[in-house]
Amino acid sequence: MGDDAKAPESASDELAAVWSALGNAGSIARQRRIADLFEGEDGAARFESWSAAHGDLLLDWSKTNVDAGTRDLLLALADKAGVAKARERMFSGEIVNNTDVRPALHTALRNLSGHPVCVDGKDVMPEIASTLRRMREFADAVRSGEVAAFGGGRFRDVVHIGIGGSQLGPEMACLALEPYHDGPRIHFLANVDGASAAQIMDRLDPATTLVLVASKSFTTPETMLNARTIRAWLASDLGDDGANAHLAAVSSADGLAREFGVPDDRIFGFADWVGGRLSMWGPVGLPLMLAIGGSDFRSFMEGGHMMDRHFREAELSENLPVLLALAGIWHANVMGYGSRAILPYDHRLGRFAAFVQQVDMESNGKSRRMDGSRVARDTGPVVWGEPGTNAQHSVAQLLHQGTRIVPVEFIVARRGHEAGLAAHHRMLVANCLAQAEALMTGQSRESVARDLEGRGLSGADLRLQAAHRMFDGNRPSITIMYDRLDPYTLGRIVALYEHRVFVEAAIWGINCFDQWGVELGKVLAGELLSCIDKGRLPDDRDGSTRGLLDSLMS
């Protein structure tokens, strides 16, 4: 081995040595079948050894091609990359977002421990608690009818106007917790496409509609255009005073919100150390609180807080976010799988994959390390998904027989909310477990041929059919199982994925809390909008953009 046999002399040398050993482990794993890891004496206990739990929330990663030695290497990777230290810096309010020069304290929004969280020596928890009280008082008053529509009577509908982090989280959560809704109906307006606003205005009655405008800066172009459109819709029926009485805002720009007409006592702000995609634990979650009430919203927060405690306190080897992240690192960086699919076998998690897509891809879609140097390996994989069993009739073909291997994360409840439809849930769970098993085991040409022979096929017909019907298997999956999708469980699952993204970022050495990659498009969009409004072609654009603008304006 020559120089490679020397003991590492620094933390970076130690980290490089672990990566190198993982590369060797990957070469071995490519020659091994996952199903073989379940054989023999060790295989019989593999499920118990490769699963971890937080109460009823179970993470099973036994159907990944990771043996005991590789698992030890992955845990060593987390250790050498300083995951524990990075975790403590985040929870302690240190500056972990180095380009924006601020902490990342979304966890403080759900901190129910009573312990202080300090930023620049000041405990931020009293302000967070005060905002939460105001949110609950407002939500309770709307739900009870104490805060009434301009003409009297209850608000029957709420329109939440936001985009990205101001919309995906609360929309996902409202859909997920639909069985707990006992407040006004919640609608979300995000897309700047006029069709979205038209649907809202066509279907709802302005006289009984409350409008929440969610924009930290109160300048987000898409959100503010939608907000102006909906406010004009309110005013056309209620007048300016009536329109203002139907407004509330989630924003830190109090002055701009007031200028828009939002009453002072209906402006709910949050600090700049809460990123948009991680913000639904505070005022951005107001539509969820309006839908399910303050008590269930607190249960949602408790779930997130308890996952925070687990993430902060549990050993790495039993730590759900760490294990989920290490599986992701193994698949993305060692096995070379550039994508991951999230398939929730829970209809109400229909927007969960889209939510995680933003949390993951906006956070970890980076090519520079914290110090500005280029990363040495791939970062954030492409995240996508679809609810099961729909996925089985759309994307599963590629997952089972496609040329690209896509690790799958299955999410499923042990029981559903609909007691009278238990047969549906049994079939749902059976399909989920069957998909995971089929991905791993596949179906050999020989077994297909035997089946076809039993049906009377032979010769060339049999060989052709067998070639098309066999599939290799040996495709990894992870299963996350819980008792039932309630507010507490949803809180844990959301926090689990938030922390998974953080751990992967810490291992890659990137900043998962900024998003500079989206800024240029915003600037260019503003410039091009000016050209469209003025009906002139710009001189400083490429031929394609000029040609498309010319076609648009001709």
Annotated active-site positions, please? 362, 393, 522
Pairing between β-strand 209-214 and β-strand 185-189 as defined by DSSP bridges: unpaired
Going from the C-alpha of 438 to that of each of 129, 396, 419, 441, the distances in angstroms are: 48, 11, 29, 5
Cβ atoms 487, 292 nearer than 8 A = yes
Going from the C-alpha of 239 to that of each of 235, 246, 265, the distances in angstroms are: 4, 11, 20
In which residue are the tokens 């009434």 written? 148
Going from the C-alpha of 312 to that of each of 157, 186, 360, 543, the distances in angstroms are: 39, 34, 20, 53
Radius of gyration of the chain (CA): 26
Q: What is the C-alpha separation between 335 and 340, in angstroms, rounded? A: 12
Q: What is the C-alpha separation between 464 and 485, in angstroms, rounded? A: 45
As a three-state string, the secondary structure of 531-550 is HHHHCCCCCCCCHHHHHHHH
Residue 235, classified by CB atoms within 10 Å of its CB into exposed (0-12), middle (13-18) or buried (19+), is middle
Q: What is the DSSP string of 310-371?
A: HHHHS-GGG-HHHHHHHHHHIIIIIS---EEEEEEE-GGGTTHHHHHHHHHHHHH--SB-TT
Long-range contacts of 416-421 (CB under 8 A, 24+ apart): 416/484, 417/179, 417/484, 417/485
